[in-house]
Structure 1
Amino acid sequence: MSTFWADFLYAAANHPFPSMPVDLLSPFDHRNEFIFPNVPAAPGMPCAGEDRSIYRRGARRWRKLYRVNGHIFQAKRFNRRAFCAFCQDRIWGLGRQGFKCIQCKLLVHKKCHKLVQKPCSNEHVDPIEVKDDANGESTLGRASSVRSRAEVEPPLPETPPAPAAAPREELEPGAQRQYSLDDFELIRVIGRGSYAKVLMVELKRTKRVYAMKVIKKALVTDDEDIDWVQTEKHVFETASNHPFLVGLHSCFQTPSRLFFVIEFVRGGDLMFHMQRQRRLPEEHARFYAAEISLALHFLHERGVIYRDLKLDNVLLDHEGHIKLTDYGMCKEGVRPGDTTSTFCGTPNYIAPEILRGEEYGFSVDWWALGVLTYEMLAGRSPFDIAQAADNPDQNTEDYLFQVILEKTIRIPRSLSVKAASVLKGFLNKNPAERLGCGENGFLDIVNHPFFKSIEWEMLEQKQVVPPFKPRLEGERDLANFPPEFTDEPVHLTPDNDTVIADIDQSEFEGFEYVNPLLMSLEDCV
């Protein structure tokens, strides 16, 4: 054997490359610890080979405004008896029943807003409202986008009363439990979003570790924000029944904040690992894409469009299985054939039909899975623009949207034929022809050649060994979480009595909840 090949085999055995073919780098080999070399030279420093071109970007809902005769209308929910300024009839129903001008406060039916003759004066006009003590006070709402069509919302069911907490082993038979902030010890900050902070906490009674999502009520007093918080709670409850979705432990509130206590997933998110690895072996990407597919299919079967699939929201548990989290962008109550039109999502993952202002359904989740799978396999977004950072005209959201709509997606030649085929299937700009959206739906994904090696039933039962197991030294090990979060001080800012006085607490009635599925001490977090 030549010296060259001897040196090569020695190097491969001791320092396997991430791009090494799967048959040379077995997913079950102890050497897979090198797949995610997440040990920086110093805290906060980049790891060797870390690629910052994959970066975190928050999801958004664009405001939806309707401009008529100088008025700027938004869809609103009225908790008082309100009357239309055009036809004088009462505005009634569930959900967002009418429109309100954000300038002069004029109230109208949705059907009447285009008929308003009186121009907007930009001065406040007292709306025609009759107080109804039983229904409380009206609130204003945030709309979504000038880009999207008017979304016809189905009637929203009234929030059911909070389910009774399940009996706990520590309590006497028949006793029930609700939680408060005093029941938890705040340990560390592990994440932060546009309107929420996520903490690692310990339930004092059992010493079990959970994640706690904290939302300030002052940021969600708009009616649509409140609807979205309720939707997130409902989806968290539903997600507790699936192995690849983060489930809910409990919900409670204080006068200033809402608290979701959820499963603590210790392995970090795929964004953290991809920033250190850049790209994954095809076998790894196939495994994660298959588990994500099962999670999305579960949600779709229950009428939920996820709408925010991205590397940040795919977590790895201590065994290496994925769990989707963050249901703040979800749309509930979508029956087969139903569509919606809200312009929302994380810019790099938004499907073309959303950008075109079309009605859409579950297809947008399969597009996002295509983008995420491309990132895992290629180490970059399919819409990366060379030298965009140096060109202000190309480093904008609008230019990115134009690229998503018009650019032909080029598949790297280094990928296998099967991988290229599945990417082309998911990233078809026509949702009717997209993989997962045909007559056979999810079965088309299951039967695709890229997933031929997947044993789907065993995978759903978590009987397939993950290709990578995060290195963890204990239940509280935070080595897989970004230091920009974990280095933050752990505290909640003191309440402001003036801010609390402006919050309509009736909007959050029934928020408290305890999930019986996560109460037993045997359940794994």
Structure 2
Amino acid sequence: MADNVFDIELHDVETVEVDDSDDAIEIEEDAYDQNPNINEIVNSDGVETVQLTEQTVNPGQEKTGPQDFELRKVLGKGGYGKVFQVKKITGNDADTVFAMKVLRKASIVRNQKDTAHTKAERNILEEVKHPFIVDLKYAFQTGGKLYLILEYLSGGELFMHLEREGIFLEDTACFYLSEIILALEHLHGQGIIYRDLKPENILLDAQGHVKLTDFGLCKEHIKEGVLTHTFCGTIEYMAPEILTRHGHGKEVDWWSLGALMYDMLTGAPPFTAENRKKTIEKILKGKLNLPPYLTADARDLVRKLLKRQVTARLGAAPDDANAVKAHQFFRHINWDDVLSRKLDPPFKPCLTSDDDVSQFDTKFTKQTPVDSPDESTLSESANMIFQGFTYIAPSVLEDIYKPSIMKARSPRKVGTPFRHHFGAASTSSRMFSLDPHVSGFQTPHHFGNGAGVPSGATHTHSHSTHIFYSVGNNTNNIRVGFHHQPVPQQTQQPEEAMDVSNSTGGTSLV
């Protein structure tokens, strides 16, 4: 990955964080001159084969820009800009629906850490391609703005579906966890720690499959046995070793997976309190309470993922994801089928079209989409920060290079070569939500053991603090996401206390 590419990830809430790289797609200035056949016109029966021209790549334009997209709906907005649903109106992918984030450069460059997060996420999204990780298509910029084009995920946020259901059946949780595990396994294999796994960062596509999003808190280039000390994440899902600042590795993602699983099956994260300090104290020293309706396998998996002693935690190096995948809770899972997306999702979004926005908050979708004029421009030195920001996905390039057949005309001048990179922006502040009164999902048959849940169980999330299709304003040097308000706990049987970290220094971090 190029050294100077960028990725966007911005948070509007307190999500905590402090603190690259993929081969960029480049077309050199003289690439066409080096290939004498690039402009070759093949006349047969009055037609010509045009391999690459200004018109076939971007008709009437030298490169992809805002003018190539039609604004359709507002999906969210925040301190840094807006997020739109857009439709491409030029090129081979014309009529394709995307999500477009529009970010103001001047807001980003004020905070060095925001710039760093932009770079980290931008690089990761270019480098990482996986069925369960959001796909990045384009990025481009103007004098004062950054434009980020991502696949449009019309299924909405897992958080909202969890709120609707209250809690998930074990087979439903098993489906989502299995796809998330493969996404984490892929990231870890690339030397990346995710560090912000939570329901808000998991979107669903139109078929109901998982897409992991929001890579601004990731740590890249982590080798086996190497620890990092960044204090980041969302409090309720943060591993104890992050809170104590003793250094952490990939194992923090398996703790977060355990917290997420607990959330799915009980309606709230395992450790919550009325404020951050007490929540941190519970994470470091509290007892784990597991409701009696959980199966033995589910209880065992949660316990093993939520081990405070890192070396005892399921998924600890060197086994990583293999140890988690081998647990009895996933005994009915064929992992090759999961990767191939052959399993039927437990919830399939009820959508009427490719541009359906029924899963997003009408507070935004009813607004008139307007991209404000690009009035501010940065100095030349400030703009150097965004050098190499532009991006075009390899899949898009493949479409560009497909020969186009059209009526014979005189040879066309080859357009100015361009180099594109692209990334994603997000915020830890909820910018939109699902209308709980809208019927958005149908429930097909479940797979697995169909473990039961108590009657009348309700999900106890009171609000969300993060959403992928939203752009927020982060003015802090660190991000601490306090995800939930105090929630009523169901009557649960106390478990034996887990391994307790010797340090209680986490409470001083708030």
TM-score range (shorter-chain normalised) is 0.5 to 0.7
* CA shift digits 1:444-490 (9 cap, x unpaired): 11110001010001110112222221111111111112334434442
SS at match of 1:315: strand
Report the equivalent of 1:511: 389
* CA shift digits 1:186-240 (9 cap, x unpaired): 112224566454321111121100111222212221333222212111111123x
Aligned-partner residue type, residue 223 of structure 1: Q
Aligned-partner residue type, residue 60 of structure 1: T
Q: Check whether the contact 1:59–1:344 (CA below 8 A) recurs between aligned residues.
A: no
Report the equivalent of 1:422: 301
In the aligned structure 1, how far is the partner of 2:49 from the partner of 2:80? 35
Structure 1 residues 161 and 302: alpha-carbon distance in aligned structure 2, compared to 1, 3 A threshold: closer
In the aligned structure 2, how far is the partner of 1:481 from the partner of 1:448? 36
Aligned-partner residue type, residue 26 of structure 2: P
Q: Check whether the contact 1:305–1:330 (CA below 8 A) recurs between aligned residues.
A: yes
How high is the TM-score relative to the length of structure 2? 0.66
- Given the alignment, which residue of 122, 129, 134 partners 1:233? 122
Report the equivalent of 1:279: 167
What are the ranges of 5 or more consecutive residues in structure 2 without an aligned counterpart? 1-10, 33-47, 401-510
Displacement of 1:162 in angstroms is: 6.0
- How many residues align? The count is 362
Report the equivalent of 1:163: 26
Report the equivalent of 1:363: 251
* CA shift digits 1:133-180 (9 cap, x unpaired): xxxxxxxxxxx3xxxxxx7xxxx78x987633999xx99413466311
Report the equivalent of 2:52: 174
* CA shift digits 1:360-387 (9 cap, x unpaired): 11111111111111111111221234xx
Structure 1 residues 171 and 307: alpha-carbon distance in aligned structure 2, compared to 1, 3 A threshold: farther
* Larger Rg belongs to: 1
Structure 1 residues 364 and 189: alpha-carbon distance in aligned structure 2, compared to 1, 3 A threshold: farther
Moved more, 453-462 or 428-437: 428-437
Say whether 1:60 aligns with 2:1: no
Report the equivalent of 2:231: 343
Report the equivalent of 2:87: 202
SS at match of 1:401: helix
Q: Check whether the contact 1:343–1:357 (CA below 8 A) recurs between aligned residues.
A: yes
Q: Check whether the contact 1:164–1:514 (CA below 8 A) recurs between aligned residues.
A: no
* CA shift digits 1:487-511 (9 cap, x unpaired): 44422333443x7459711111111
Displacement of 1:343 in angstroms is: 0.9
In the aligned structure 2, how far is the partner of 1:368 from the partner of 1:218? 34
Report the equivalent of 1:185: 70
SS at match of 2:64: coil
Aligned-partner residue type, residue 333 of structure 1: H
Q: Check whether the contact 1:59–1:347 (CA below 8 A) recurs between aligned residues.
A: no
In the aligned structure 2, how far is the partner of 1:220 from the partner of 1:333? 24
Displacement of 1:265 in angstroms is: 1.0
Say whether 1:462 aligns with 2:341: yes
Q: Check whether the contact 1:249–1:519 (CA below 8 A) recurs between aligned residues.
A: no
Structure 1 residues 372 and 172: alpha-carbon distance in aligned structure 2, compared to 1, 3 A threshold: farther
Return the structure number with greater relative CO, CA threshold 8 A, min gap 6. Answer: 2
SS at match of 2:83: strand
In the aligned structure 2, how far is the partner of 1:419 from the partner of 1:315? 23
* CA shift digits 1:395-417 (9 cap, x unpaired): x2222222221211211111111
Displacement of 1:521 in angstroms is: 6.3
How high is the TM-score relative to the length of structure 1? 0.64
Report the equivalent of 2:139: 251
Report the equivalent of 1:290: 178
In the aligned structure 2, how far is the partner of 1:457 from the partner of 1:270? 23
* CA shift digits 1:297-322 (9 cap, x unpaired): 10110011111111111111111110
Structure 1 residues 280 and 412: alpha-carbon distance in aligned structure 2, compared to 1, 3 A threshold: same
SS at match of 1:364: helix
In the aligned structure 1, how far is the partner of 2:282 from the partner of 2:136? 38
Report the equivalent of 1:53: none
Report the equivalent of 1:265: 153
In the aligned structure 1, how far is the partner of 2:219 from the partner of 2:105? 21
**Backbone CA RMSD of aligned residues:** 2.8
In the aligned structure 2, how far is the partner of 1:485 from the partner of 1:349? 28
- Given the alignment, which residue of 198, 201, 207 partners 1:310? 198
In the aligned structure 2, how far is the partner of 1:285 from the partner of 1:379? 12
